Chains A and B, each alone.
Chain A
Amino acid sequence: MSDTAVSASPRLRWQCRRGMRELDELLQTFLERGYPQLNDTQRMTFERLLTTQDNLLLEYFMGRSVPKDADTADVVAKIRHAAHP
């Protein structure tokens, strides 16, 4: 397991292109500011989070609901934090 800071792959960047402006903005900011600091486990959690439907992602990112899984909730908190650290 390597926990060194790495940039997101182009594939992951494309997964962050979503159907809503709000999600594009938050995810792309996070790729620059937050993603490089994640460890391998958190990166896998982030990739899993990206398979979530857009409307539920928006609920999470707006703080209107919280993922049940604690690791996912932690990554969501980091995404919200990265928007305006």
Chain B
Amino acid sequence: MTAMKLVRRKFDTLVIGAGGGGLRSAMQLAQADANVAVVSKVFPTRSHTVAAQGGMNAALANVVPDNWHWHMYDTVKGSDYLGDQDAIEYMCRAASHLVVELEHAGVPFSRLDNGKIYQRPFGGQSQDFGGAQAARTCAAADRTGHAILHSLYQQNIRAKTHFFDEYFAIDLVKDSDGYILGAVVLEIETGEPLLIEAKTTLLATGGVGQLFRTNTNAHINTGDGIAMALRAGIPVQDMEFFQFHPTGIAGKGMLITEGVRGEGGYLVNKDGERFMERYAPHAKDLASRDVVSRAIAIEVREGRGCGPNADHVMLKLEHLGAEVIKKRLPGIRDMAMTFIGVDPIEEPIPVFPTAHYTMGGIPTNRYGQVVVPLGEGAEEPIPGLYAVGECACVSVHGANRLGGNSLLDIVVFGRAAGNHIIEHLAEHRYHRQLDEGSIDQALARLARWEQSGDGESVDELRQELQRVMEEDCGVFRTEETLVQGVARVEALAERLQNVRLKDQSKVFNTARIEAFELENLMALGLATVKSALARKESRGAHSRVDYPDRDDERWMKHSLYYEDGRVDYKPVRTKPLTVDTFPPKARVY
């Protein structure tokens, strides 16, 4: 295939990814009469937004007094002072308006008896800048993500957004001045590439949970958009910050909520020892997530893990009794019985820390524009390119995301990007001339997987990458594990050159798609482990055993990883839009 023979379509905007962030932008653009294409590798309502159960934060003050400034304080503190305070102010101010707007779009938020939107308390929420517990999370029962995704999808259908379902994005294309002008995508059904030319392109492809062996993410979360940006010469930001939950079902990843330990469940090692008493004598099993996660990892590393491979610990509930478990933890019992055939009334649940959320990603400003450093702290937007949601790093989550802020992030910045794109389209009415060389680069990526012969398998290499990332760059990080991690991921990246596909057919060749996904994972594995090695402090989710403290003087800065392996830094934006800066202080709860 050559660039000349490529089938081409033209749109005002190309949105890659059909989760909540992509669909929020697409809806707005289509309603403004822009000609919008949405490319999704799976059917849109099977995007990972559907898995978000908790809810969406907004200081509506329907249950207890609240305001956006307290929400902002909690988010800055939760981010361990790595979040950009202008973007955080913008998000928290917009939240209440966007909840109402989503309700008008069809999201059935749960109600209080007085008819107002119900709000539940979540961890990390406070009134009056660190005072009493707030209740800030709006929810549509336990399926908020599902409700948002379906409502946005229906609104897009109504607004005549053009969906390319089951198309996989290969690479961005640009002109000689660096304007991003769409992407080469692959129709999974036919195996044929298609060039979608667009005046603006929005990446909304989600996170990269599949980097780690034990994770809570859908299999589709392979960081495709982040890796595409990296290949286009854009550095990726703060990739060392990955949120883990301490208790995922071992070997599977699904989350066992903290509620289990809140009800009196506790962790034991292979000797039956309640080991959290050693790590956190006071809080024990209710210590913070990072402390519990690291304790589990240490037990396993030091040979006190359970099971034939000594690779997990046990979460005991039996002592709570059948009645309490059935009444208060029915969902957890369903999960354990369904996935591992264990009834927690009779047996403990095998658990291990599970990777959950990518705080890092493609650097953007609060308009959703992708930005790159211009030297000495200044940044400039990449013309025509936007990113929102988990694939982006705006950065509202900084080093650690608060529960209920991810759905908020996608709708706030989905809308912000939509607004900015509408302005851009008004000023740029005509398609620019593509650099045909950038198309050839995308096509070369396709051609690489047409090499036949013997070689390694995609599946094996992916599993090795996930294992190495979990062992060397998971919740237990030291100079030694990270140096080893860099070497091991680099060796795997070398071996990627030797991978061959046995099946060279075109029609529905999903093995080829998995090969592209592996390339993306490998690039982001390197970005994550190299950024983690470089950051010699502990902040938020990045926890170094050998550098246990936060070091604001040296490390209150964002990391930027380039495709060539270089790690650079840029300052945190500590100046909010209208209010005073929240200066860094100890993050204690």
Contact surface of A with B, Cβ cutoff 8 Å: 9-11, 13-14, 17-26, 28, 53-55, 61-64, 80, 83-84
Q: Which residues of chain B have C-beta atoms less than 8 A from A83's C-beta?
A: 338-339, 341
Q: Which residues of chain A have C-beta atoms less than 8 A from B341's C-beta?
A: 83-84
What separation, in Å, do the CA atoms of A13 and B216 have in the docked complex?
20
In contact, B50 and A21 (Cβ under 8 angstroms): no
- Among A25, A26, A64, the most chain B Cβ lie within 10 Å of the Cβ of A25
In contact, B331 and A18 (Cβ under 8 angstroms): no
Q: Which residues of chain B have C-beta atoms less than 8 A from A10's C-beta?
A: 508-511
In contact, B47 and A62 (Cβ under 8 angstroms): no
How far in angstroms is the closest Cβ of chain B from A33? 13
List CB contacts (< 8 Å) of B462-500 with chain A.
none
Closest to A79 in B: B338
Q: Which residues of chain B have C-beta atoms less than 8 A from A24's C-beta?
A: 218-219
What separation, in Å, do the CA atoms of A19 and B219 have in the docked complex?
8
In contact, B338 and A20 (Cβ under 8 angstroms): no
In the complex, whether B438 has a CB less than 8 A from a CB of chain A is no
How far in angstroms is the closest Cβ of chain A from B247? 14
In contact, B509 and A18 (Cβ under 8 angstroms): no
In contact, A19 and B254 (Cβ under 8 angstroms): no
Closest to A11 in B: B508
In contact, A25 and B50 (Cβ under 8 angstroms): no
In contact, A55 and B42 (Cβ under 8 angstroms): no
In contact, A62 and B331 (Cβ under 8 angstroms): yes
In the complex, whether B49 has a CB less than 8 A from a CB of chain A is yes
In contact, A53 and B218 (Cβ under 8 angstroms): no
What separation, in Å, do the CA atoms of A18 and B331 have in the docked complex?
20
In the complex, whether B270 has a CB less than 8 A from a CB of chain A is no
What separation, in Å, do the CA atoms of A13 and B340 have in the docked complex?
22
In contact, A19 and B49 (Cβ under 8 angstroms): yes
In contact, B45 and A53 (Cβ under 8 angstroms): yes
Contacts A55-B146, A83-B338, A84-B340 given; indicate if A17 touches B46 (C-beta within 8 A).
yes
Q: Which residues of chain A have C-beta atoms less than 8 A from B331's C-beta?
A: 62
Closest to B45 in A: A53
| Interface SS majority for chain A | helix
B51 touches which one: A14, A19, A26 (CB < 8 A)? A19
B48 touches which one: A14, A19, A64 (CB < 8 A)? A19
Closest to B142 in A: A55
What separation, in Å, do the CA atoms of A80 and B331 have in the docked complex?
15
Contacts A14-B166, A19-B48, A19-B51 given; indicate if A54 touches B146 (C-beta within 8 A).
yes
B188 touches which one: A14, A55, A61 (CB < 8 A)? A14
In contact, A55 and B218 (Cβ under 8 angstroms): no
Q: Which residues of chain B have C-beta atoms less than 8 A from A53's C-beta?
A: 45, 146, 150
How far in angstroms is the closest Cβ of chain A from B178? 34
What separation, in Å, do the CA atoms of A13 and B510 have in the docked complex?
8
B47 touches which one: A11, A19, A22 (CB < 8 A)? A19
What separation, in Å, do the CA atoms of A54 and B511 have in the docked complex?
24
24 contacts between A and B (CB under 8 A): A10-B508, A10-B511, A11-B189, A14-B166, A14-B188, A14-B510, A17-B219, A17-B220, A18-B50, A19-B45, A19-B46, A19-B51, A19-B218, A19-B220, A21-B218, A21-B219, A23-B218, A24-B218, A26-B338, A53-B150, A54-B51, A55-B143, A80-B338, A83-B339
In contact, A9 and B508 (Cβ under 8 angstroms): yes
In contact, B508 and A14 (Cβ under 8 angstroms): yes
Having A17-B42, A19-B48, A64-B334, one finds 6 other A-B pairs with CB under 8 Å, namely A14-B508, A17-B46, A53-B45, A54-B46, A83-B341, A84-B340
- Among A18, A19, A26, the most chain B Cβ lie within 10 Å of the Cβ of A19
In contact, B217 and A21 (Cβ under 8 angstroms): yes
In contact, A20 and B334 (Cβ under 8 angstroms): no
How far in angstroms is the closest Cβ of chain A from B219? 5
Q: Which residues of chain B have C-beta atoms less than 8 A from A9's C-beta?
A: 508
In the complex, whether B540 has a CB less than 8 A from a CB of chain A is no
In the complex, whether B253 has a CB less than 8 A from a CB of chain A is yes
B216 touches which one: A11, A21, A61 (CB < 8 A)? A21
Contacts A21-B51, A21-B253 given; indicate if A14 touches B218 (C-beta within 8 A).
no
Q: Which 8 A-B pairs have the closest CB atoms?
A: A84-B341, A19-B50, A10-B508, A55-B146, A62-B334, A20-B51, A19-B46, A24-B219
Q: Which residues of chain B have C-beta atoms less than 8 A from A80's C-beta?
A: 338
Q: Which residues of chain A have C-beta atoms less than 8 A from B252's C-beta?
A: 25
List CB contacts (< 8 Å) of B31-57 with chain A.
42, 45-51
Closest to B508 in A: A10
In the complex, whether B335 has a CB less than 8 A from a CB of chain A is yes
In the complex, whether B365 has a CB less than 8 A from a CB of chain A is no
Contact with A along B225-261 (1 / 0, CB 8 A): 0000000000000000000000000001110000000
Q: Which residues of chain B have C-beta atoms less than 8 A from A22's C-beta?
A: 254, 335, 339
How far in angstroms is the closest Cβ of chain B from A28? 8
Closest to A64 in B: B334
